[in-house]
Structure 1
Amino acid sequence: MKKLNSFIFLFSVISHLLFSQTKQDETFEKIRGNYEKMTTDDINAMPYVKMYIKKAKAENNYPKLVQGYRDARQFDYKNKMKYADSAISVSRKYGKRNDLSRDYLSKGIIYYFYQKNYKLALNQYLKAYELSKGLKDYYHLHKVLYHLGIVKEHLGYYEEALGHFNHCADYYRLKLNEDLHENERFNYKKAYLNSLHQMAVINRYLSNFSKCDSISQLGFDHTVGDSDFKLENSYFLKCKGILKYRNKNYDGAKADLEKALPIIKSRNDFAWISVIYYYLGKISEAQKNESTAIIYYSEIDSIFSKHEFILPETYKSYNHLIDFYKGKDVNKQLYYTNQLLKAESSLAKDYPYLSSKLHKDYDRNKLIEKNDKVEKTSKRKIALAQILLLAGAVALSFFIVQYFKNRKIKRQYDMLQKRISEGSYNVADITENATADPALRKTFLSPEMTIEIREKLEKFERELQFRKKGLTQNSIAGKLNTNSHYLSVYINENKGMNFNRYMAELRINYITNLLNTNSKYLNFTIEALAEECGIAARQNFSKLFFEINGIRPVDYIKKRKQELEIN
């Protein structure tokens, strides 16, 4: 028996160690998968959440630790504020601005939703707002905007609050058209539905009943039959019930409100619970069931006594309670009178602080930011105007320069074409114009030698031998059976230029005549044209063409094509 007990003990120890090791080896994602789809405030999630936090601490994984505290904040109803502060503490030490902003916002939501403490909630919202400036987490930015709208709604700034919710609803609706992860889609849809709900509420406060009705129906249609959004569906059903009461459809109103109440109760949203009780009381009064109405109004007092919170919409229930007990029960009459005074005091006490704080730290800052933006925009416009003026001046200068440049090109082209058409565009001898007195020459050749070299050069030009690359004065003199000195003297005295200039003019004149008479050459590249006339380098060809013709080859080709109407 002792051996059996020892075996059982040993087995349990080993099993425990193995189980612990297995839990330790589980990934964060696997642990979180056990609870991430549980309903908010479901305490059954906490064993897994604590395991997640323990693993994060053991591994010094601070991003996961923050996530663990955030999850605990979501599921542990009694310790929400403790975990909210833990998340802020870790985010402040290890996180980024965006992390800290998100955690301040969440703490504010706890103050608002679970305690209806707008004063403390606003302080957290404004911290979140300051930290969110300049960030590109637009989902979070719109959450901050939404909750600031909630405070404005509470203060009665309905038009301003409606602007917040309209803006948020538009943003979330557009995001839902994108390809989102399942969790992202859930978050965006929830945020969109919450914005729609607040829009419906404020439109009712502003007596825009048809608008309230259409928004309520839209929200209801988006959520009906969807188990993920039962709470949101109940909010829209509540809105529809209140509108039916206004239209004196008392049975329909009662059915909607009674159907919405259990889900909203399960979420412990005592603010909207009190509103439902108020309208159920109003319906009972309309149906001449005063005792039932008093029961509903008494429930509103119970909520006020427990949470010290009441809405302007529901505090009038105390008037009915006082009137009901007048002359029947003095103690209850006095009790409800005192409660009415407390309710009025409660409604008034935070108003100056909230209004001043919201104006100073949000609306004023937004106005300053808007003015700064206007100033920056104005400066940008001035800078843009200056840039445009400068660009205009540069463009005008460019067009003026181009105009005169084109005029000059046309003039040079026309002059060149005139020379070609008149037959004066060639490398002609100048001996006819030169003096015949040999004594006036620096150097001279005999008449016989002059005639011989002229005839040989004419043949050289006629046969286009100058098109060969690499020709020199010595090589040409050899071809002509003369010496280079005599050749140089002849060219200088009879052509009026040195050897290099003579060769350049022969080649450029040749290619210019080709461009003028044969349109196929107009499609040649500059390199090909240089090759055709015997000039080795593209740059050298362009330079010589301009020196001799007074116009660049590209400009000549362009003008010639225009003249011939060639594209």
Structure 2
Amino acid sequence: MRNFLWNKNLFLFLLPIILSAQVKKMDLTRLPYDELKELFIKNDKNKKKQLEYVNAFLAKAKNDNSPIYKARGFYLLSLLYKGDKAIQYLDYSISFSKNTNDLKFPAYAYSRKAYELKSQSRYREAIDNFILAENSARINNIDFYFDAKFSIALLRSEELGEVEEALVLYKECFNYYKNKEIRTPEYSFVYHDIIFALADAHKALKQADSSTYYNKLGYQEAIITKDESYQYLFILNEGANHVLKKNYRVALDSIYKALPKMIAFKNQGNTIASYYYLGKAHEGLGNTQAAVQNFRKVDSIYKIAKQIIPEFMGGYSFLIQYYKTKGDKENQLKYINTYMTIDSTLQKNYKILTKKLKKEYDTPNLLQEKATLIESLQEEKNLSYTAIGILIVLIVATGGFGFYQHQLKKQYRFRFEEIMQQTTEIVKFKTQDIQVIESDYSSKRYESIGISEEVVQQILEKLQLFENQRAFLDATITIQKVATTLNTNSKYLSKIINEYKGKSFVQYINDFRIEYAIIQLKNDPKLRNYTIQALALEFGFNNAESFSTAFYKKNEIKPTYFIKELALIKNA
């Protein structure tokens, strides 16, 4: 249940808006960059004028051969477009601003590109760009670094259903911003946003007391800063929280207070949330007709907006069962169809949907019920066989996906238990006696790689020292660099690692890093609170993707799963 409408990087970039002079077209390129930008902003209702100013901005940057002003110009140009066109101009902005050490770029361009990708449901690519924005801002723009981190958390929580992972990031952002001047215009809105995210995440995880704590804190801050929109958002969120606590009458009081404001603010997402939780509260009180009325309003808004999140899917289960009891086959089928249509869309983006579907509407029973229902309606209205086929395929696909997820979960658990049984410290670890190693190397092996026995033994001994010193944690490591350290050449080193370690140099280094990571994660609870990006840097990788890929290749499970299961064991 979210309504994060802010895009702070855009707000910060476009903040200074003051200008009044009229300027002749022929003189535009003679104006300072700041003036051109202000003219662009002032004419936000006139795209034609804005194009004139931004084209002059870019022409001036080209004449000055200034990469950073070219980057800023293409960023401004991207604001006039949506989708692929905007992404194209943002890519230009990123290209020109790389290596400029600018405070805002390319971080702002990466972030805006991520939002455009998110709007196209390209969620994984969006996360990649938010991470790039975060990394770009890490050194010289710490506020924007946490803005990007917060955007990553929102995407993980709202679009991918990874609430637990997002909660860790929300807490990092909260701990950073709480030390700022949180009641000033610069920081109050983002602080409210983060508190709301924490409250909402705890509610999603059914941690009602923690959710209440943050709802109260957020409400108090919103009162102090006179932020009416967030005052009522926190009232609404606490009302929803009371539904989970089964305090239905208290919940109704809060939600009825908030609903008119959600409508007045044209906050469509939280208007849906208001009707959904009104429905759940009335359902809890046994007010069936009121519950039906509110769940139908959720459906009506969905039909217009074509957007809904898994949190609000339970209303469809209620409506399907209600019309089944009433013997109203038409409405029963109508809401089953809507449910399945939403399901087929959300399965692409929400990993939690399978769990929710199995919990709220058992697939095998649904299949049998639909088959019977369709047969009955076919006799009455001669429903097309094509429609029946589509419905059955959707259900079978849903069941198949659920079975696949179940098997995958079993496989992950088995691999996790295998890893936990490996109690020997492997990185500290691999300290075999050199004489034992020697006995295993026949003269034929030396001959097969064309390197003398003496050289092989020298390099193997140095490799042993390299391993024991954990030099593999150096993120800049290359085979040439290691060869120089070992006083040999990269060709010899590659052959020896291939022959005696049984793997390529890259795999050899990555395996050591992952083995070391497992030991450290087992032994150091603090590391389990790190982001995947932070863990990647900790263990010698350049980014989260390369760390996750190497971890999965080595262990056949994702690092996020390993950390989550490890935490459950340690907390048991």
Structure 2-normalised TM-score?
Answer: 0.49
Q: Which has the higher contact order (CA 8 A, sep 6+)?
A: 2
Structure 1-normalised TM-score?
Answer: 0.49
Larger radius of gyration: 1
